[in-house]
Amino acid sequence: MRNQSEKTNAVQLYHQDGKPTGVYYCSVCRGTRPNEESAAECCAPRHCKDCKSLLEERWQTSCYPCSRARANQREQDAWDAVEKVSVEEATEMVYVDGDGSISPLDDVLGGVDDGEYEDGGAHLHVYCCVEEKLQLDAENILDHALENWFEGSYDHIGSYAVRDLQTLLDKWCEGRLTQWVQNPKLGVRIT
């Protein structure tokens, strides 16, 4: 026995004895759902929750223009909340939001002067960067190296030896490798 709701794609399933199961399926994709409402909404046309335009994909809740506008607003709100410094106070390397690159500040300023950015860089969000140096941790290295050794093997090394190894590692890391990472709390006023 089949009972399809008059206004939807929801179809209720029944037991062999004719009693309703309380489970529904979508008559379009035949996917089972726990209730009539979710079965009815399954393959029904969906509309953007903001502008009410018809959506192309079932998984969407907003159309691309509305999603992009919301994302832009979130980015702008985050930018407005950040402390800003002048170009003179900025770090030599900066993170350019939008293209996700870390570049020398002088290159970004040159790009603004050359018209590479929309609106002359007025809506460009640039963040200071922090220099991050390579660090190796003696305890982690020893833990990893002794992973398959006998239980308690780490205790046989002694804290002085671990400290000596850490001193050696710190000295070896000096000037080896650095990277710049975004400081999301400090923006640069470009224009």
The predicted-structure confidence for 57-110, as pLDDT tens digits, reads as follows: 878 889 999 999 998 899 889 889 999 999 999 989 999 987 888 999 999 999
Residue 77 shares a structural domain with residue 52 = yes
Q: What is the pLDDT of residue 166?
A: 95
Q: What is the rounded CA–CA span in Å between residue 185 and residue 78?
A: 9
Is 56 inside any structural domain? yes
CA angle 63, 59, 38 (to 5 degrees): 120
Phi first, then psi: give them for residue 98, nearest 5 degrees: 110, -55
Residue 49 shares a structural domain with residue 38 = no
Q: What is the rounded CA–CA span in Å between residue 191 and residue 123?
A: 9
Residue 21 shares a structural domain with residue 7 = yes
Residue 36 shares a structural domain with residue 55 = no
Residue 36 shares a structural domain with residue 49 = no
**119 or 166, greater pLDDT:** 166
Report the residue count for the chain: 191
Domain that holds residue 160: 138-174
- pLDDT tens digit sequence for 105-163: 999 999 888 888 776 666 788 999 999 999 999 999 999 999 999 988 888 888 899 99
Residue 51 shares a structural domain with residue 24 = no
Residue 31 shares a structural domain with residue 60 = no
Residue 35 shares a structural domain with residue 52 = no
* pLDDT band at residue 28 using 50, 70 and 90 as cut-offs: confident
Is 58 inside any structural domain? yes
pLDDT tops 90 at residue 53 = yes
Number of domains in the chain: 3
Is 104 inside any structural domain? no
Residue 74 shares a structural domain with residue 53 = yes
Q: What is the rounded CA–CA span in Å between residue 105 and residue 103?
A: 6
Domain boundary among 65, 81, 97: 81
* pTM of this prediction exceeds 0.85: no
Is 132 inside any structural domain? no
Average pLDDT over residues 39-62: 87
* pLDDT band at residue 41 using 50, 70 and 90 as cut-offs: confident
